[in-house]
Amino acid sequence: MPDPGTPNRAPKVGVLHTVPALAGTFETMIQEFLPGATQVHLADASLLADARRIGVTQDVSDRVDAHIRSLVDGGAEAVLVTCSSIGEAVEAAAASAGVPVLRVDEPMAREAARIAGDAGRDAGRGGRIAVLATLEATLGPTGRLIERAAADGTDVDATVVPGAIEARESGDQARHDRLVREAAVAAAARADVVVLAQASMAAALAGTDLDVPVLTSPPGGVAALAATIRATPDPEQL
């Protein structure tokens, strides 16, 4: 008997990346959530490079919009953007895309706010959220997203993990992962929930148990994409 949550058709989804190496991870995860879906992955590393170098300028926003429109023109019923650093440009593009366009970190932000709010109420204080990133360019967009989602009185402590991005870019993935793990352990001691702001950080904590929840963006982002597709009517029946 088919899973009642699985669409009885083969939907088409678009995925925009700024880290090409993440495409395979998301492809596998989307296949698990939406078996049989047609996936179109588009990667443009220059978007992240420019966001790091000069910020999310109008030119970067225009290119994000053009990529999303390309995926929609190609038949995508929904688009997931896997880069948190360009999240605010994604929100702007979503307004006129004509199909749902999702920030990968938005479900994570809502879940972090819920966990911290509940923990704070139980302890008679404000909630505490620790946000870790390896890129300064990601810290601002994800931090602002979480602050918007969080209840009044919740403390959002956003920090760049020193040396992590340099280690990864030099090819030392083991050191990158160790630095992220160490930062997460330290953050867990002062927070109700730890948020890893970038999808590329998720693997660093595989098999690591902490005393508070650690949230990463890929699972929530893909789950939201799947839920959106299930709620979307079959275009051929409209």
Q: Is residue 1 part of a domain?
A: no
pLDDT mean across residues, the chain: 92
Distance CA 56, CA 167 (A): 24
- Together in a domain, 110 and 212: yes
- Together in a domain, 81 and 131: no
pLDDT score at 54: 93
pLDDT score at 175: 96
- Together in a domain, 75 and 173: no
Question: Does pTM surpass 0.75?
Answer: yes
- Together in a domain, 90 and 136: no
Domain span at residue 232?
12-104+220-237
What is the per-residue burial (b if ≥16 Cβ within 10 Å, else e) of 198-216?
A: bbbbbebbeeeebebbbbb
Residues in the chain: 238
- Together in a domain, 142 and 204: yes
Q: Is residue 7 part of a domain?
A: no
Distance CA 6, CA 15 (A): 19
- Together in a domain, 200 and 153: yes
Q: Is residue 6 part of a domain?
A: no
- Together in a domain, 194 and 114: yes
Cα 101 to the center of its chain, rounded Å: 13
- Together in a domain, 207 and 233: no
- Together in a domain, 96 and 119: no
Q: Is residue 169 part of a domain?
A: yes
Domain count, the chain: 2
Q: Is residue 174 part of a domain?
A: yes
- Together in a domain, 121 and 207: yes
pLDDT score at 156: 95
Q: What is the residue-wise DSSP string for 137-168?
A: HHHHHHHHHHHHHSPTT-EEEEEE-TTHHHHH
Q: Is residue 3 part of a domain?
A: no
- Together in a domain, 70 and 121: no
CATH number at residue 31: 3.40.50.1860
pLDDT score at 3: 47
Q: How confident is the model at residue 1 (pLDDT cuts 50, 70, 90)?
A: very low
